Amino acid sequence: MRSFASLAATLAAALLITGPLPAHAQKVLNVGMAAADLGSLDPHRTANTPDKAIIGWMFNGLVRFKPGTMNPDQIEPDLAERWDTSADQLTWTFHLRKGVQCNNGYGELTADDVVFSLKRAADPKISSFSSDYADMTSVEAVDPSTVRLTFKNRPASVLGILTNYQGGNIVCRKAVEKLGDDFRTKAVGTGPFAIEQYTPNQSVTLVANKSYFRGAPKIDRIVYRYIPSDATRDLAYTSGEIDLIYGRQDQVWAERMKSLPHTIVDVFGPGELSDLSLNVTKKPLDDLRVRQAIAYAVNRAELVKFKGPLTAREAVSVVPHDYLGTDENAPLYPYDPAKAKQLLADAGYANGLKISIIQTALPTMLNTMQIVQAELKKVGIDMELNVVDHPTFHAQIRKDLSPMVMYSAARLPVADVYLTQFFHSRSTVGTPTAVTNFSHCSVADKDIDAARQTTDVAKQKALWKDAQDKLVKDVCAVPLYEQLQVWAHRDKLNFGYKLDASLTLGPIINEQTTLQ
Amino acid sequence: MLTYILKRLLVAIPTLLAVLTVVFFFVRIAPGDPAFIILGDQASQEALAAVRHDLGLDRPLPVQYVDFMATVLSGNLGNSLVTHRPVWQEVRNVLPYTIELTVTALIIGVALGLPLGVAAAKHRNRALDYAARIFSLIGLSFPAFVSAIMLLLAFAIQLHWFPVISEAREGDPLSRVSALVLPAVNLGLIMVAYVMRVARSSMLGVLGEDYIRTARAKGVPARVVVWRHALGNALIPVVTVVGLYLGVLIGNSVLTEIVFNRPGLGKLIVNSLNQRDYTMLQGLMVVYAFIIVIVNLLTDLTYGVVDPRVRQT
């Protein structure tokens, strides 16, 4: 026991020497993210949520969503000061802001960088988002501060694909060419913050771009820490080691954080819509009555009640709420278990039926499907969930192995993108042009294509509405609910704008943001 | 002695090759596509195919296997599929953290467990013995991640003695020490429980031996009987347990590193699994296998140190 006492004494002595940690240095924003490590800082090459937020602080687009919004009608100038369009809207000319500097000493940003960047975003061999630029036939530098884009068909939202989002983020050419593979961890843009250091498995440190064209940021550094354990991240927030925390998307978490002193819980868009796609080519789902029965059996209100109304809302259509062209009053099937049973009986399944599907173990998605499972059980559908880890889930659903697929996603907030990726026959899984059409539906193809061709905004919206109505009626998918983004921050951090939505799925930190 | 060590290391080579083969195929049996994980769910088939080609994943499996073995046998663990950096470099970056964690935990385990076990045996069925046994039972039944959270709540949140995020700041050696304490104590306490139990039962056995009774009859003081005559023989099972348990310790260090958000092999392995970084996983398994082989060898050599009879054979 004597050795124990001496060890305890040594430990206590060590503590006295070490002492408590010093308080945070001024103007360093510490952020806690739910990931084990960085995926990539290359905006054209990553679609991971943990990478998106930080990329949003480092890059600009030709245009941008007003900070705190995702409304395509409120897109404003960013690297481009102004732009002109041809009468047919197939040629767009952007006039760049002069004197914008690439971060980390890569010189002034010119039309050449913009051309390089957009070509890169459109290159299927490099970019994760090339399909967004499939209609772009050329992008050229007219002079060092003018860029001209031509399209063979007008994309649903030209400005949308040129915002500071995914492929629209402008990278600096010299940096890409010089850094090669290292661009992944040392990416260079023109944003308010620039990469300073990447420590594998630990953190990314950004430093303020003092010559940012909108003014020097008021925060000196951002330390973006990778903390995969939810419990540890919460504790690190409680202890004051982080000021801005990526939250768990559930009511309990949001309520608990709300009760902490000096803490503001941020719940904002986009809502990630969970659609339950039904494969219309596979038995028994090839029978419309079975699909309708499933639609009638799902109780959206109950799902939202379970998820928590603070962080979730009911789906309004097969396209998320608030996108340009969403049918906010789509003819969704109401909850009617009696009708569901009747339809099943009509289809020859009076004694019930069994469907086996593949489901991710990701908790927020799994518990949703467990509720749906219970709801379907009530009408006689025995849905067996084969639970697998998330990468396995993604691999298997793309091999068309699951007759029903629950998928959560947010996209560029224009109906065309969601409709094309999830419901156009061109995007059907198992085909060479596959994206995420798990339902094998093609009923809305004509409307989706026609909406792209027209320059008449009202007509375009009408076509998108038709497309959604057809998909809903044909039960290509059962819309479930929308999961909002949940973060929390200390009240000494002020974003400098009202945070209603952020396409990067995290708050935008820019020159307006202050930290006391 | 040297020939013995060399012989043991030679025997380890087929073991390592077998581990490599099993790992190579096992990581590929798990569905999931590294290209998809790198590019995200909106990437075109063309982009995915290009990445798979770049990573060499579009080649037939046997070709990939031969290529992999050739790379490893040339003394190279290959490059990470995600970071493109040499696997060995990534491992080397974090290996010191895992080693310092496990070694400190081991020291805590032996330094506390051994005297506790001996004391418990000496005072068999008395208060001290019961207390030690209850403590060891608790230590054994607590999962590492639960005790980790409890330690954080007590020492980081309530007392503010240590940070929640156990990462060292560069150029600040003290921060490295303070970042090590809680994780090492967490791992060490479980080790204490193991060592204490084995030391106690082994000591009880030895204390009943004839030569101990003889020594006592000769009037040797109790302290000398216990620490000099009995402990030497009682140590053999303890050494075995410590050696065996070091493997478990490395496993538990994965959980500990995750909860304390400490850099190390554990965080690396979890991330590589999520990203389906095949080459990184293979490299990590080789490193783990190698560590286990070395630890087993060291355990055998330690037998010779603590027990002269082993040395003679």
Provide mean pLDDT across the span A143-156. Answer: 90
For residue B90, which residues of chain A lie inside 8 Å, CB to CB? 200
Please give the average per-residue pLDDT across A456-483, as a whole number. 95
Higher confidence at residue B210 or residue A461?
Answer: A461
Helices of type H across chain B = 2-29, 34-39, 45-55, 61-73, 87-122, 127-141, 144-151, 173-207, 210-217, 222-224, 231-259, 265-275, 278-306, 308-312
Handedness of CA A383, A388, A390, A396 (dihedral sign): negative
Chain A interface mutation, best of B192, B261, B267, B274, highest count of A Cβ atoms under 10 Å: B261
Element (H, E) at A313: strand A312-314
| pLDDT of res. B310 | 65
ipTM of the complex: 0.82
Element (H, E) at A293: helix A288-297
Q: What share of chain A is helix, strand, coil (3-state, %, to 5)?
A: 35, 25, 40
Query: Which of these, A21, A191, A231, lies nearest to A104 by C-alpha position?
Result: A191
Closest residue in B to A47 (Cα) is: B40
Q: Which two tokens stand for residue A458?
A: 């009202």
Q: Residue B296 CB: number of other CB atoms within 10 A?
A: 17
Q: Which residues of B touch A184 (CB under 8 A)?
A: 83-84
B31 and A126 within 8 Å at the Cβ level: the answer is: no
DSSP A25-92: PTTEEEEEESSSS---S-TTS---HHHHHHHTTT---SEEEPTT---GGGEEESSEEEEEE-TTS-EE
The amino acid that residue B202 corresponds to is S
CB contact at 8 A, A157 and A416? yes
pLDDT at A1 over 60: no
Among residues A413, A414, A419, A477, the alpha carbon closest in space to that of A444 is found at: A419
Evaluated on CA atoms A8, A14, A16, A18, the torsion sign reads negative
**Is residue A285 pLDDT above 70, yes or no?**
yes
> What is the C-alpha separation between B244 and A34, in angstroms, rounded?
34
- Chain A residues whose beta carbon lies within 8 Å of the beta carbon of residue B259: 229, 231-232
Count how many pairs of residues, chain A against chain B, have C-beta atoms within 8 Å: 167
Give the CA count within 13 Å in the CB-facing half-sphere of A193: 29
Q: Mean pLDDT in runs of 10 for chain B (313 residues)?
A: 79 83 83 78 79 85 88 83 84 88 90 89 85 83 85 90 79 81 90 88 84 83 79 82 80 85 85 83 85 82 73 54
Confidence of residue A428 (pLDDT cuts 50, 70, 90): very high
Q: Do A409 and B39 touch (CB under 8 A)?
A: no
Q: Which residue among A36, A166, A391 places its CB closest to the CB of B276?
A: A391
Chain-chain contact of B167 with A14 (C-beta, under 8 angstroms)? no
The answer to whether A482 and A308 are in contact (CB under 8 A) is no
Are A228 and B45 a contacting pair at CB < 8 A?
no
DSSP 8-state symbol, A108: B
Single out the residue of A163, A204, A171 nearest to residue A188, CA to CA: A171
A433 contacts in chain B (CB < 8 Å): 44-45
Does residue A163 register a pLDDT over 70? yes
∠ Cα B299 B303 B308 (to 5°): 165
Cβ-nearest to B112 among A4, A15, A185: A4
pLDDT, tens only, A303-331: 999 888 999 999 999 999 989 999 999 99
State both tokens at A43: 């905006």
Tens-digit pLDDT profile for residues A175-184:
999 999 899 9
Candidates A159, A194, A199; CA nearest to A55 is A194
Query: Both tokens of residue A80?
Result: 């481009």
Rg (CA), chain B: 24
Record: contact B259-A231, CB cut-off 8 A: yes
What is d(CA A120, CA A112) in angstroms, rounded to the nearest whole number? Answer: 12
Is B274 in Cβ contact with A391 (below 8 Å)? yes
Q: Tell me which of A128, A223, A401, A438 to substitute to probe the interface with B (most B C-beta atoms closer than 10 Å).
A: A128
Mutate to test the interface with A, among B36, B94, B110, B164 (most CBs of A within 10 A): B164
The C-alpha angle with vertex A368 and arms to A35 and A258, in degrees rounded to 5, equals 60
pTM attached to this predicted model: 0.84
Taking an 8 Å cut-off on Cβ atoms, the answer to whether A231 and B268 are in contact is no
- Looking at per-residue pLDDT, the higher value among B176 and A66 belongs to A66
The nearest CA of chain A is from the CA of B73 a distance in Å of: 26
The β-bridge partners of A265 are: A488
pLDDT at A8: 44
Q: Rounded to the nearest 10 degrees, what angle do helices B278-306 and B231-259 cross at?
A: 160
Q: Which residue's structure tokens are 């084990």?
A: A36
* Chain A contact set for B152 (CB, 8 A): 232, 235
Which of B46, B112, B268 shows the shortest C-beta gap to A7?
B112
Strand partners for A273: A409, A482
Please report residues of B whose CB lies closer than 8 A to that of A204. none
Q: Do B263 and A202 touch (CB under 8 A)?
A: yes
Based on its alpha-carbon atoms, the radius of gyration of chain A, rounded to whole angstroms, reads: 25
* A232 closest CB neighbour out of B31, B161, B164: B164
Q: How confident is the model at residue A334 (pLDDT cuts 50, 70, 90)?
A: very high
Give me chain A's average pLDDT, please: 91
Whether the CB-CB separation of B164 and B88 falls below 8 Å is answered with no
What is the rounded distance in angstroms from the CA atom of residue A265 to the CA atom of residue A407? Answer: 26
Compare CB distances from B165 to A39, A181, A241 and report the shortest one's residue: A241
CB–CB of B44 and A130 under 8 A? Answer: yes
CB atoms A1 and B115 under 8 Å = yes
Query: For residue A2, what pLDDT is reported?
Result: 41
The closest alpha carbon to B235, from B304, B133, B172, B149, belongs to B304
Residues of A in contact with B38 (CB under 8 A): 39-40, 45-46
Length of chain A equals 516
Q: Please write the tens of the pLDDT for every residue from A67-110.
A: 999 988 889 999 999 999 998 889 999 999 999 999 999 999 99
By Cβ distance, the residue of A17, A37, A434 closest to B271 is: A37
pLDDT above 60 for A471: yes
| Most B CBs within 10 Å, among A127, A232, A402, to test the B interface | A232
How far B268 CA sits from the closest chain A CA (Å)? 7
Distances from the Cα of B84 to the Cα of A184, A199, A253, B78, angstroms: 10, 15, 37, 9
Chain A nearest-CA distance from B222, in A, is 16
The H or E element that residue A81 is part of is strand A80-85
With beta carbons less than 8 A apart as the criterion, state whether A139 and A126 touch. no
Residue of B nearest to A126 (CA): B47
CB count in 10 Å sphere of residue A195 = 19
How high is the pLDDT of residue B57? 84
Q: Do B261 and A228 touch (CB under 8 A)?
A: yes
